[in-house]
Structure 1
Amino acid sequence: MLLVLATAGITITLLLATAFFAYATDPWQRVFTQSSGAHVWIHTRAGTDAGSLAGLDEVRATAGPFRTVRATAGLQPGGARATLELRGTAQRPTTAAPQIVAGRWLDADTDAGATPGIVLDSSVARAMWAKPGDSLVLSGIAAHLRVVGVADTAEAGFRAGESPGAAWVLPATLAASDAGGDQRGRTIGLQLTDPADTDYVVQRAVTRLGADQITDVSTWRQAKAAAEGDNQLLGRLLGLFGLGALLAAALAVGGAISTRVRAHLRDISILKAIGFTPGQVVRMFLTLHLGFALGGVGLGALLTEGLGTLVPGRIGDAMALWRQLPEHAWLPWAISGGVVAFIGSATCLAAWRAGRVPPVPVARAVTATGGRATGLTRRALGLRIPPALVLGWRGAFHHPLRASAAVARLAVPLLLITIALGTWTTLDRFTSHPETVGLPAALTARSDTLGDRELHQLLTSGPGVTAYPGAEVQALVPGQTGTITLRGLGTEKHPYPFTVVEGRAAHGPDEAIAGQGLLDLLDARVGDWVRMTVAGDPHVLHLVGRTIETADGGRVVSTSLDTLRDGGTAGATSAGSPPPRPDFYHLVLSHGADPGVVRDALTKASAGRLEVREIPNPADQLTAVRAVALGLIAVLILIGLAELATTIGAGVRDRGRDLLALRAVGLTPRQITAVIVSATAFVTLAAALAGTALGLLVSEWLINLQGRTSGWGTGIAQDPAPAVLLLVVAVAVTVAATASLLPAARAARRRLADSAGAVL
């Protein structure tokens, strides 16, 4: 029963992992295909001839170029606000065509009146809680705009404080804006003949238009990575634990067959004596355990297919989406068949040993685990250590190879449990101590109406709130194949508390720290000097440290606001420098302060003139990992119990052959029971210590590997508390001792005449 339930859990885990991978990648791919999406988006200044990029040899089609205006939009009355990139277009584009999911597209006859229409990208619509029929007020446009539609695109979505949301209006609406020249521009989408030419096309575009004319570049790879987000991480976790649990189950099945073969040597010999061939004996064991595997796989597949869509949250959404994909017709069968085949292959070796049992039983010594006591054993007995413990230790490890195999099989599920606990603890670190994982600030605030001094006084008026001024600009990296975020936070007199995990904090006028994603992008290391271009002006910075950076895939360079304004060692022109006024303030709260309460208090104190947002914490989007970890731990416990049952059976059988010897030296049935229980406990203790110790190392390596590949950087892993690990070890040993108590008592009270037959 334990093996069947464990196999069902493994099957559910692997099926959910596959569904999450599809859930992570398919929505973006589906929108990109349906919309005939663009592989590269180039954002330029207003007077740039962006349309000339359509003549590049690698470009198959273009979207635009669109005239654009950046504006701050607010939902009326008193709703959320967001930065929009308004694109003027009279008709719906054919390349990179927005896919309407609510409402309709713009109509020149009905949306050009006193209340112009606007279509919002779905990502910014979700952020603003906007829907068709709502009214928006936009900076620079006197008239209120009515939301007539919401559309999906394959572009990188809206991120508060980082990238504006796309919106489409009629050209007349765009012309009515009184925005300045620095807020106007052009945007063109390039659809390439070969997506692999993305970086090369970006280089050619920068060469043709000039680096000082390009304000931002985004590619399909960035959009896809942003769309996958933490769903990809969930899929990886499920796949990793599912495969690990499958390995543990295969080891448990192999151990169970080997133990069963040793326990039934006489019965197998009798079968061969009456005419069974070795092949028939092997097929008998294979059939038995393949039946268990089929039962578990069938149960897991039925539960996943029948109840998967009913689970609330992203698990149910992932299963619902997966059912609509063509590969769903064969992937569940392939995964289920793979599980059965893997478990079957693990049973072949053990079943082959059953086929090699001779047809004539071979007598075994009554004291199979006997022999002369070692010096260590004699000294332990001389120290008046209870004989049950001494003999239990000796019996547990008298056969080194057999004991090592049992320890290894028990250690695998405990290792995976430790990894799951490490994942859980790391998420708790993000939630309870975000300042240690690169998130010292909980809120970001900005205002278009309050003066800088008035704004600063308002933000620092409350107790436990520290405000740090900041600004962000988009910079072209060396090679000009993409853009990164150049951020100035804090001042030299009042530095921002970055989480530096390598090197040191930036103090000098030309010093900066970078995220792992940027170091990988530039193939740079701490200590290097890097050059980047902001609106045509070069910025040269000395990277003195690496910080944990969860925003923008870690492709962020952070320095002080003073250094950002000065433009690094190269100097800066007025066009390349950020404005003297900070773009925003990051608010660091005292420990225990509720960000929601502080946000509401600041909004109320400013009479709605202040926009305050909570800084996204990756842990908020990974709540499903906790449920996943609990489910995986339950599956691993089942596998561990199945392996423990095998270990107990083997221990009871071996000690059963020693009953004559143990009673001959004067041990009572209670002491014999203690010998068997302690032998099982010692094996479990060795497995628990080995599994948790190795699990700590593997957990830290895997989590930091995930951090590095995601661009956040290493240093985010958090080990489980020692008390938790000791509890895992104590529970494992206690369960083993308790489970072996009744079989051991039965074996100890067996009549001597019954035990004599066990010598064969």
Structure 2
Amino acid sequence: MRATLRWAHSDLRTHRGEALFMVLATAGIVGSLLLATALFGYATNPWQRIFTQSHGAHVWIHTARDADAAKLAGLGGVESVAGPYATEAATLTSRGTRASVELRGTPRAPSVGRPLITSGRWLTPAQPDGVVLESRLARALLAEPGDLLTVAGTARTLTVVGIADSAEPRYSPGEQPGLVWALPSAVRDPGGQVTGLRLTDPEDTDYAVQRSVTVLGAGAVSEVSTWKQARAEAQGDNRLLGQVLGLFGLGALVAAGFAVHGAIGTRIRGHLRDISVLKAIGFTPGQVVRIFLLQHVAYALLGALAAATLTQGLGSRIPGRLGDAVGVWQGLPGHTVVLFTVPVGAVLFIAATTWLAAWRAGRVPPVPVARSAAPAGGRLTGVARGALGLRLPPALVLGWHNAFTRRTRALATVARLALPLLLIVVAMSAWTTIDRFHSRPQEVGLAGALTVRPDGDLGDTAARSLLERDPQVADAYPGVEVAALVPGQTATIALRGLGTREAPYPFAVAEGRPARGPDEAVAGQGLLDLLDVRVGDWVRMTVGDQPQILHIVGRSIEPENAGRVISTSLDTLRENDPHLRPTLYQLRLRPGADPHEVADELAEAARGHVDVHPVTNPADGLSPLRGVVVGLIAVLALIGIVELLSAIGGTVREGERDLLALKAIGLSPRQITAITVTATACTALAAVGVGTALGIPLAHWLIDAQGRSSGIGAGLAQGPSPVLLLLFGAAAVLGAAALAALPAARAARRRLADTLSAVA
């Protein structure tokens, strides 16, 4: 054991840089995997906790006011029912902000779908105008218990008595109205009612919806929401961040394993005589293997412990969503188990790759094998001889020759180095795709920057005139958005009519063509998956008791409503209902216009008769991904440096046998140094080419696969610009050359006696 420790200590002193980079790379990998686990727990647990504690309903069905919703309690598979509760659509204003809400008349605290009070109290008959706000709605209105809210268009005021969490779909401007619980007396103009169903088997949700619509009649049902939709919306971007971190963490772990394998293999080739001596003095093959295994497992263990300690101690202090995720994750029951298993799994994987490489050291014979008299670089190829004949610099020719003369070893080195570079290209593509949402939103289904919803007191002509007068508004597209029942009556989708045939809305069509003719429409990926249809099919849906049949001629990129949107022109919807009037306007602004400033100007000019809000950009919730990408690139760069240092060490050792011959033919130490630097640069250049060639299509596939799974659809991926790729490749090659310069210069200036002893 003492000899083993002395050998390990000596090797550590010789390769301090590789040891440091290995520890840092392992720490980054384990940290990424732990943060990914935290984000997955953060994405799922808060909603699941609220749903469980509130005894949430699996289905919420909005119906007409006169529908006999009491029949739903007798359906098979229904465990309990909430409601029916009378509802009223309204717009509340507070401190200069507005929000569309659903007032829900709730006589007492429900047992199913019970709001969880976070501040304030529940409703009491002593305060008939009191309301309880859903927490996200309260944040949007900047409201707290005790504040007064005004119902837009009236003199009515409501007093906030409490704020509560709910497992139902949360408030989203322009998409989902906020939920407000009130006493039945406060719901003065009910336009419908809502009923919640808690099922004995949550997986029977679709069947329960279908049975409910059959019992009540399709014309009585206006909207259906399920627990699966609410869960997916609550998880949102956190799950995507977790997937990105997990994917890159696993990829980096594999790259690190290959880098360790290559480093040990290179070190074994450079220490064949020393290993033979160890065996000659009594070391067994198992002891030789354990020398390398324990040494590199110690590096991995140190990095894993550092990552686990930092994540546990400082993770919750990370600014933004990552810190919140770690804080929530640390309170989960399985947190301690994960904090132990993830680092242990990473260390075991690195140990497995280390053992495979160290096993070769155990097979080294105890008597050194005489080295071949052939030059280490092998005979010059015809191409190399021709290049020398053209009087190209010998250092460049011999460096290129040394890099690729041993094809198997060279290909393995290029493959190991290309893996982290490939993952860096994928990370850069993710960054560029996020930038595309902000720089060219019209290409990702966000042509409209503002959504304007006029109230009933402002006519169509007045509303359009108001919008067209603003010099910063380029186009105003009238539209209608309603909930429609899908075939089979198992869910509701968003049916949208935007623009006219004379002025069509510029949908971002990723497949097929835009909708131009009568009954033509474009649909999001989420709707195509839900209905199991494709471009070219006809679909039938029900709006109230009125059927609507549309021909899907294209697939549009739909960031809203998980892609469960079918869009046509307003003229097509008017063919079924000639009296249909626009309920909203999508505004396309002129270049350079600030959406928030335009929204304030329009709201002030309309004197409170319009509700204006910017269109939600999905990339806004992915801002933490930028910091994640930077961190991942740093970890992958460390892994690449480990591989480069191994390759450089191998090139320097193998060049020692040629040193005498190179000096004998008149090459200076600077030229000999250039040979090693050129060989390293050529290897890095080949790895950059492979990593870029494979990374770009892999990034497109991964991003498009994520787009399809989220319902937005494929067609989002945007690769880095050629200039950025060129800079990336140049940085990688120049960095590799700079790393090789110092060890190559030291080797070129070695004394002849040292060189003779090395090749003896």
Query: Normalised by the shorter chain, which TM-score bucket?
Result: over 0.9
Q: What secondary structure sits across from 1:326 in the alignment? A: coil
Q: What secondary structure sits across from 1:266 in the alignment? A: helix
1:144 to 157, 161, 169: 157
Distance 1:442 1:507 in 2: 23
2:87 to 63, 68, 73: 68
Matches within 5 A, 1:558-637: 558-567=567-576, 580-637=580-637
Aligned to 1:106: 123
Worse overlay, 509-518 or 155-164: 155-164
Aligned to 2:461: 453
Distance 2:377 2:739 in 1: 25
1:608 deviates by 3.3
1:44 deviates by 0.7
Distance 2:653 2:70 in 1: 83
Question: Following TM superposition, where does structure 1 have runs of at least 4 consecutive aligned residues deviating by more than 4 angstroms?
Answer: 139-142
Aligned to 1:162: 175
Is 1:312 the counterpart of 2:315 in the alignment? no
Is 1:241 the counterpart of 2:248 in the alignment? yes
Contact 1:121 1:165 in 2 (8 A): yes
Is 1:259 the counterpart of 2:288 in the alignment? no
Is 1:297 the counterpart of 2:304 in the alignment? yes
Aligned to 2:411: 404
Distance 1:219 1:759 in 2: 75
Distance 2:470 2:71 in 1: 53
1:196 to 180, 199, 203: 203
2:279 to 268, 272, 277: 272
Distance 1:412 1:695 in 2: 9
Residue type of the partner of 2:65? A
Q: Could you tell me the TM-score, scaled by structure 1's length? A: 0.95
Identical-pair percentage: 59
Matches within 5 A, 1:642-653: 642-653=642-653
Aligned to 1:384: 391
CA shift in 2, pair 1:52/1:651, >3 Å:
same
Figure out how many residues of one structure are paired with residues of the other and give that number: 739
Residue type of the partner of 1:111? Q
Cα shift readout 1:554-587 (whole Å, capped 9, x = no counterpart): 00000111112223xxxx5xxxx8x633111111
Worse overlay, 386-395 or 550-559: 386-395
Contact 1:438 1:499 in 2 (8 A): yes
Is 1:81 the counterpart of 2:94 in the alignment? no
1:376 deviates by 1.3
1:661 deviates by 2.6
Distance 2:489 2:756 in 1: 83
Aligned to 2:28: 9
Q: What secondary structure sits across from 1:658 in the alignment? A: helix
Aligned to 2:52: 33
1:372 deviates by 3.0
Contact 1:502 1:545 in 2 (8 A): yes
Matches within 5 A, 1:356-395: 356-395=363-402
Is 1:541 the counterpart of 2:550 in the alignment? yes
Worse overlay, 59-68 or 210-219: 59-68
Distance 1:253 1:435 in 2: 46
Contact 1:367 1:661 in 2 (8 A): no
Distance 2:51 2:712 in 1: 27
1:370 deviates by 4.1
Worse overlay, 129-138 or 672-681: 129-138
Distance 1:671 1:269 in 2: 34
Q: Could you tell me the TM-score, scaled by structure 2's length? A: 0.95
Q: What secondary structure sits across from 1:161 in the alignment? A: coil
1:671 deviates by 1.4
Contact 2:87 2:104 in 1 (8 A): yes
Cα shift readout 1:1-23 (whole Å, capped 9, x = no counterpart): 00001111111111110000011
Structure 1: unaligned runs, 5 residues or longer: none
Distance 1:488 1:521 in 2: 20
Aligned to 2:71: 52
Aligned to 2:3: none
Residue type of the partner of 2:663? R
1:201 deviates by 0.8
Residue type of the partner of 2:45? D
Contact 1:73 1:138 in 2 (8 A): yes
Contact 1:211 1:533 in 2 (8 A): yes
Q: What secondary structure sits across from 2:334 in the alignment? A: helix
Cα shift readout 1:431-486 (whole Å, capped 9, x = no counterpart): 11101111001111122132221111111112241111111010000111100000
1:136 deviates by 1.5
Contact 2:378 2:405 in 1 (8 A): no
Structure 2: unaligned runs, 5 residues or longer: 1-19
Q: What secondary structure sits across from 2:539 in the alignment? A: strand
1:463 to 471, 484, 488: 471
1:633 deviates by 0.8
1:54 deviates by 1.0
Distance 1:602 1:96 in 2: 38
1:92 to 101, 104, 109: 109
Worse overlay, 460-469 or 600-609: 600-609
Contact 1:368 1:654 in 2 (8 A): no
Residue type of the partner of 1:58? G
